[in-house]
Chains A and B, each alone.
Chain A
Amino acid sequence: MAEKFDNLEEHLEKFVENIRQLGIIVSDFQPSSQTGLSQKLNFMITGLQDIEKCRQQLHDINVPLEVFEYIDQGRNPQLYTKECLESALAKNEQVKGKIDTLTKFKSLLISELGKIFPEEMTKYKAIHGDDPPS
């Protein structure tokens, strides 16, 4: 899995470096630079071909759209991962609190109902069985 990403990363780095060098040549063009420019343009095309070959290995990778919003705003995409983990932990704690509260409520309710309706509660327990505290 990591090899596929390493391969793509390598091709992208070479592509970006080629484009950067192309920009340097163009920024102050000289007649002697024409062959170099043609070579860089063809390197750009082969770079795009290599990147397209990598596409087949990564067809099952899904990227959340929210990450694109972070990148478009010039923000670090690792912040999205951080916020996902933090919100997952917060929600986990919230749900655990609800489960604990409802478990306590259930045990209290059964004990109080057992005091008020002892016969009915014994019948209820006979039907449902003694539910273990979850």
Chain B
Amino acid sequence: MTEIFSTLFGLNDAQPSTGPAGLGFAAGKPPPPMPSNQAPVAAQIPGQLGDEGPTLRKPGAMNEPFYLLRELPVGSDLTGNTNLITYYNLEHAFNKFCGKKVKEKLSNFLPELPGMIDCPGIQDGSSLRSLIEKPPVCGNSFSPLTGALLTGFRLHTGPLPEQYRLMHIQPPKKKSKHKNRHPRPQDPLPPETPSDSDPKKKKKKRDDDPDRKKKKKDKKKKKVSDSQGKLDLEDRLYHF
């Protein structure tokens, strides 16, 4: 086996060949001699392959019996063998994001933001991608509105039509278990509208109770009877 190895790589040592049968190979042609143009080709190779990777060592006696022997690549300190999370001090971040359950919705990340933010931005044209693909006209400075410009913002009195009432649409808020929550600074109360007035809602809630209905009926009966009694008295007084 070593003799074949040596002849293939151009050694001129005269060694007795045991023959292919002795080495376990079937009878066949002897290995071809080294072509004469092999050495100059080998000399050209380092120039060609030097761009692809570690440079080849110069062929010759120093690298015998090895024909193509590359330099080992320079080892780097940082490889996949090290725990990169620990190396870059990301353990805290890893435990924070991967240790606990991160909620799915955007409203959990921005709870104070008003409106329906969990809906996809493509539906109402408020996506960030559209902002990147079609950026708005920039370059002009922001200047406050003068009196003449503010005339364009004179509005009609009265409530907005239903189709434009986006501000009142809020996602359903979950009941918080923690009772001691920091109260949000009180918002200016919106002006009452026929559909949103609170006392009417309270009245509706009160009306729904069956006990209150019974009490009201009793009160009405009493009032009717009292009023009838008063009328009788008045009639009597007038007749005198």
Contact = CB atoms under 8 A, between A and B. Distances in A.
Interface residues on B, range: 35 or more
Contacts of B113: 16
Interface residues on A, range: 35 or more
Nearest to B150: A38
A52 B75 contact: no
Interface of B is mostly: loop
Contacts of A78: 97, 102, 109
Interface of A is mostly: helix
Contacts of B188: 21, 24
B112 A13 contact: yes
B109 A82 contact: no
A58 interface: no
B167 A24 contact: yes
Given A28-B191, A52-B142, A78-B97, A128 B157 contact: no
Interface of A: 13, 16, 20-21, 23-24, 26-31, 34, 37-38, 41-42, 45-46, 48-49, 52, 65, 68-69, 71-79, 81-82, 85-86, 88-89, 91-92, 94-96, 98-100, 116-117, 119-120, 123-124, 127-128, 131, 134
14 contacts: A27-B191, A30-B191, A34-B154, A37-B153, A45-B145, A46-B144, A52-B142, A68-B129, A75-B106, A76-B103, A76-B104, A79-B102, A79-B104, A88-B85
